[in-house]
Amino acid sequence: MTVSAEPYLNVHPTDSPAQMQRLFCDKPPPRPHKRRYNVRLIKATWPYTVQEVAELFGLQKNAVLRWLREDLRANRDQRPFLIRGDELARFLSARQAKKRRKCSVIEFYCFKCRAPREAFLGIADVVIETPFKLRLKALCSVCSTSVNKVQAVCDLEKIKSRFHVQELAGEHLLGCTAPSVSSDLEKLT
C-alpha cells in the first residue's frame, strides 16, 4: 500500500496574491487578452516584482517591461525591480482613462467603430425603462450598427428637440393619464 504525501505548503501572511495562487493552484485559468485591467486587484502598499505583476493580470513579462519603458516607475536600484502597488494602480488608471471617449449630447458610442457617432439621419427610438431612466436606441451613421444610450427621463424634452423621435415605447404607469391596474377586477363585478 502506497501513501502519496502531499508537499508541505509553507504559507505566510505576507505572501503576495500571485505567490498564494502559485501555491494553491496547479495552473491559473487562462485569461482573455484584454486592454482593461482591474486595478482593484492591486494592493496599494505592496511591492510587486515584474513577474508578480505579469501573473496578477495574466500577461507576459515583456508586457510589464514595456510598461516600465513607457511611464511606470519602479525601484531599479536592485534586481528584481520592485513596483509599488499605488504606482501600478496610478499607471493603469491613467492608461485606461486616456482611451475613454466622452460623447456629446447628440452622439452615441459605436462599439463596432470604437468611436462616438451621430444617429443615422438623427432618428432615435425612446424606451422608458423606469420612472427616472430612459434608453435611446438608434443606428450608427457610419456602419449602421445598433447603438444605445441611457439618459434621465427629465431630459426627454431636450431629446425630442435634438432627435427625430420615431417611437416612444415602454410608457410607465406613472406617465399614463388613465392607468388601469385593476382591469381584471372590473370584469368580475
How far is it, in rounded angstroms, from Cα 85 to Cα 3? 43
- The ranges assigned to domains in the chain are 17-99, 107-175
| Per-residue pLDDT tens digits for 115-137 | 888 888 888 888 888 888 888 88
| Per-residue pLDDT tens digits for 61-100 | 998 999 999 888 888 888 888 999 999 999 999 888 877 7
Tell me, letter by letter, the H, E, C secondary structure of 6-36: CCCCCCCCCCCHHHHHHHHCCCCCCCCCCCC
How far is it, in rounded angstroms, from Cα 111 to Cα 126? 20
Give the confidence band of 182 by pLDDT, cuts at 50, 70, 90: low
Entry pTM: 0.49
Beta-strand pair 146-152/115-118: unpaired
Up-side HSE of residue 17: CA atoms within 13 Å toward CB?
16
